[in-house]
Amino acid sequence: MILLDDGSDDGFTPKKLAAIEYDKITEKHLFTENVGTAKRYNSFIKNAENKYVVILCGDDILEPTFLEECVNFLEAHPNHAAVATDYDHFGEEDIGYQGVLKISEEKISLINFLLDYAAQYLGSCLMRKEALDQFTLPELERKSDLNRWIYFLENGWELGVINKMLFNYRKLSNSQMFTTTIDIELNVKAQTYDLHEDSFRKYAKEIFLDQYKQIRHLQGEVAEREAKIQRIINSRRYKIGLTFSAPYRFLRRLFSK
């Protein structure tokens, strides 16, 4: 276990981490400079000699059998680069997702990752170091994990699923999930396109058709709401109410001038 801190400046975290004593921690690196989470841990992943790697954020929790069951899965499936499990949410109950999120293996495909639809279906994965060594690890402000999964699939690997709740994701109002702005989102999407341009070109038709379907769906919803409004306007009850409220509307216009 390697413990990393990327320059926390809250006055609490570095002291807390420095005080932790746990015999499975083989290295501690408490940096004073913040360079970005992915950039910080990528160098350690690159130099790791382990067969498998898992990235765990400090406020998330693995169930006791997560590593055992994930290792057993990858040992039995040599064509898989990584495996994820169903996961639960805890923390601030009034924001975002509620309860256990079950992963649908059908949603895990290259086209879905390019569309960014399946990103929320994977929590922390146990990853095969051999597969990680086949590409330059992304160092994005957001969604470095999504780009790793795209790379795995582009390199011919498969991604596995264990439909059992073995991972716990903490929800906080200041988490990246809830603080990503439009500018950040567009910047990350542009970076993702640059990293996987060939795949985007290969699936351009599917991506366009999917976005077209979304637009048509939204247009249908708008048309349905407009038709509903028109039905109300044409209804007898609305016209009667309009007649009775005419004097009030006249006085309101009169005194508002």
CA distance 54 to 42: 12
pLDDT given at position 255:
66
pLDDT band at 117 (very low <50, low <70, confident <90, very high): low
Measuring CA to CA, how many Å separate 146 from each of 11, 110, 113, 181, 232?
Answer: 31, 10, 7, 18, 46
Model confidence over 185-241: pLDDT tens digits?
778 788 888 888 898 888 877 776 766 666 666 667 676 777 777 777 777 776 666
Radius of gyration of the chain (CA): 25
% of the chain beyond a pLDDT of 90: 21
CA distance 122 to 132: 17
**150 or 189, higher pLDDT:** 150
Average pLDDT over residues 109-126: 73
pLDDT given at position 238:
63
> What count of other Cβ atoms lies within 10 Å of the Cβ of residue 129?
15
Residue 238, token pair as written in the block: 């609305």
AA identity, residue 208: F
**20 or 225, higher pLDDT:** 20
pTM more than 0.85: no
Among 3, 26, 27, which Cα is nearest to 16's?
Answer: 3
pLDDT given at position 187:
80
4 DSSP β-pair partners: 29
pLDDT given at position 64:
94
AA identity, residue 226: E
> Does position 63 have pLDDT exceeding 90, yes or no?
yes
Measuring CA to CA, how many Å separate 54 from each of 81, 125, 161?
Answer: 12, 6, 15
